[in-house]
């Protein structure tokens, strides 16, 4: 099952132009079987997410909700994808405190684009080498702003830390949805199942448009 784990919509992310309903058609067109909504510091409320999930289900698409949380640490922004929580987290000053809080509540933390070059040309808009001191559950390998060096660094960190890697488009525009994604080797229907499979490492990061037909890429867990 192929899921884009990193997508923003204009419903809760002012920097995105993606209308939630338009997202469904685009995701299906791209060959995705699932999309994770990761708004900035905001988790979709269940009563707002349910109608979108119902519409997506008609097209054979699973929609789940997490959030992207920004921490301001060491004079730079460090972003994390959070799944498995029931509330919005906003932003945090301490990555370690964020991770502890998420783990205490049964969720997981993915280091988002840890080696994305800073717009200022110095350092990263991400954890960078600080990653090694953080108890994250996975590392985002495939991200549109990761250079080859960034991907190399992410692979080395994942291997050294013994954790899995993910892929996500970080789409803010409709035509970016699905350009990077994550393959799950078991069927995912809930955020709890997504958390379980990432923890178990039963995933594979993908770069480029999914090429497996939707009818053959589904697997039951």
- What are the tens digits of pLDDT across the range 100-112? 999 999 999 999 9
State the Cα–Cα distance between residues 189 and 29, nearest whole angstrom.
Answer: 20
pLDDT of residue 135 exceeding 90: yes
Q: What pLDDT is recorded for position 93? A: 78
Helix or strand (DSSP H, E) at 139:
strand 138-142
DSSP state of 213: -
Model confidence at 92, in pLDDT bands (50, 70, 90)? confident
Token pair 């923890």 in the structure block, residue: 199
Average pLDDT of the chain, as a whole number: 92
Token pair 């600080």 in the structure block, residue: 130
Classify burial at 187, counting beta carbons within 10 Å of its beta carbon; exposed 0-12, middle 13-18, buried 19 or more: middle
Helices 46-58 + 20-29 axis angle, to 10: 30
pLDDT of residue 220 exceeding 70: no
State the Cα–Cα distance between residues 79 and 62, nearest whole angstrom.
Answer: 24
The residue among 6, 11, 12 whose CA lies nearest residue 32 is 6
Distances (CA, A) of 102 to 12, 85, 86, 107, 218: 21, 7, 10, 5, 30
The values of phi and psi at residue 63, to 5°, are -120, 125
Cβ pair 164, 182 in contact under 8 A = no
Q: Which region among 47-61, 63-77, 133-147 has the lowest average model confidence (pLDDT)?
A: 63-77
State the CATH class of domain 2-212. alpha beta
Q: What pLDDT is recorded for position 22? A: 97
The arithmetic mean of pLDDT across residues 177-203, rounded, is 97
Classify burial at 134, counting beta carbons within 10 Å of its beta carbon; exposed 0-12, middle 13-18, buried 19 or more: buried
């Amino acid at each position: 099952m192929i899921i884009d784990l990193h997508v923003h919509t204009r419903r809760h992310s002012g920097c995105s132009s993606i209308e939630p309903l338009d997202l469904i058609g685009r995701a299906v067109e791209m060959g995705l079987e699932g999309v994770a909504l990761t708004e900035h510091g905001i988790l979709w409320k269940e009563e707002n997410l349910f109608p979108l999930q119902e519409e997506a289900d008609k097209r054979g698409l699973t929609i789940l909700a997490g959030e992207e949380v920004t921490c301001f640490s060491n004079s730079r922004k460090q972003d994390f994808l959070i799944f498995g929580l029931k509330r919005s987290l906003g932003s945090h000053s301490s990555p370690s405190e964020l991770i502890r809080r998420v783990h205490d509540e049964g969720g997981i933390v993915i280091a988002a684009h840890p080696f994305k070059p800073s717009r200022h040309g110095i350092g990263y808009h991400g954890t960078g080498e600080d990653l090694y001191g953080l108890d994250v559950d996975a590392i985002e390998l495939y991200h549109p702003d990761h250079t080859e060096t960034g991907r190399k660094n992410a692979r080395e960190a994942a291997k050294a830390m013994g954790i899995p890697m993910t892929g996500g488009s970080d789409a803010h525009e409709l035509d970016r949805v699905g350009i990077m994604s994550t393959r799950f080797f078991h069927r995912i229907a809930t955020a709890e199942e997504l958390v379980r499979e990432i923890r178990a490492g039963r995933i594979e990061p993908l770069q480029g448009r999914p090429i497996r037909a939707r009818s053959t890429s589904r697997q039951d867990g």
